[in-house]
């Protein structure tokens, strides 16, 4: 119940932040992210508003499917491979973010390197691996909310169509207060591929 209250408050604050970011925005950007982390994979949504020509603020919303403890095992009796160490863990970072664009006005706009920093709450959800039914597995979960952060470096490549493709790498700090399957640190390095879906 406490985690639900924290999650509702977090979503409410993010909606307020999104509204504030939208007010009088001269340059607003929305991106879809594909994330490849050392402990799994994920995708995300970003909203940016430029405060200056080289500084933007916004929201960084992600989804991670944790897979780092899984490995295949061959079962000769059934003549097939099974997955051992499977853990059903999902992470939902709900971050505020800022980007600082380097060499503003000094290099071509089609090539824009930047440093990105995000921080805020993230929700960790632990599904019941003993239940095969998807709806029942995620209907009886344990969740907790903690604070996390992320630091990264990327480069924007402007396309002739007017959209932007971004490549980069970063590091997540995602530690949980209550261990999940004897593990507390779900952070680590990641690569990202970002595609701009809208710019106003």
Say whether pLDDT at 132 is over 70.
no
pLDDT grade for 129, boundaries at 50, 70 and 90: low
* Nearest CA-CA partner of 187 in 176, 199, 177: 176
The domain spanning residue 132 has which CATH number?
2.40.160.20
Percentage with pLDDT > 70 across the chain: 68
| pLDDT at residue 122, rounded to an integer | 93
SS3 readout for 42-93: EEEEEEEEEEECCEEEEEEEEEEEECCCCEEEEECCCCEEEEECCCCEEEEE
Q: Which residues of 45-63 are buried (b: 16+ CB within 10 A; e: fewer)?
A: ebbbbbeeeeebbbbbbbe
- Higher per-residue pLDDT: 96 or 22: 96
- Higher per-residue pLDDT: 28 or 162: 28
Give the N- to C-terminal CA distance of the chain in Å, as an integer.
40
pLDDT per residue over 9-58, tens digit each? Answer: 556 555 555 555 554 555 788 899 999 988 888 999 998 888 788 899 99
156: DSSP letter? E
pLDDT per residue over 170-189, tens digit each? Answer: 999 999 988 887 788 989 99
Longest pairwise C-alpha distance within the chain: 66
**Tally of structural domains, the chain:** 1
pTM value > 0.85:
no
Domain coverage including residue 70: 2-199
Length of the chain: 200
pLDDT grade for 144, boundaries at 50, 70 and 90: confident
Contact 119, 95 (CB under 8 A): yes
| pLDDT at residue 100, rounded to an integer | 94
């Amino acid at each position: 119940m406490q985690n639900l209250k924290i999650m509702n408050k977090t979503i409410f604050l993010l909606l307020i932040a999104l509204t504030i970011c939208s007010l009088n925005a001269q340059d607003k950007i929305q991106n879809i992210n594909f994330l490849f982390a050392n402990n799994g994979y994920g995708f995300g949504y970003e909203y940016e508003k430029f405060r200056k020509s080289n500084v933007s603020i916004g929201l960084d919303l992600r989804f991670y499917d944790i897979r780092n403890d899984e490995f295949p095992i061959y079962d000769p009796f059934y003549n097939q491979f099974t997955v051992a160490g499977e853990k059903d863990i999902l992470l939902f970072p709900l971050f505020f973010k800022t980007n600082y664009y380097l060499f503003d006005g000094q290099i071509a706009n089609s090539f824009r390197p930047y440093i990105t920093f995000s921080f805020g709450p993230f929700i960790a959800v632990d599904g019941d691996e003993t239940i095969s039914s998807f709806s029942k597995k995620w209907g009886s979960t344990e969740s907790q909310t903690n604070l996390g952060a992320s630091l990264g470096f990327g480069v924007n490549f402007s396309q002739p169509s007017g959209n932007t493709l971004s490549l980069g790498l970063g590091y997540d700090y995602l530690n949980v207060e209550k261990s999940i399957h004897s593990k507390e640190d779900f952070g680590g390095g990641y690569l990202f591929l970002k595609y701009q879906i809208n710019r106003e």
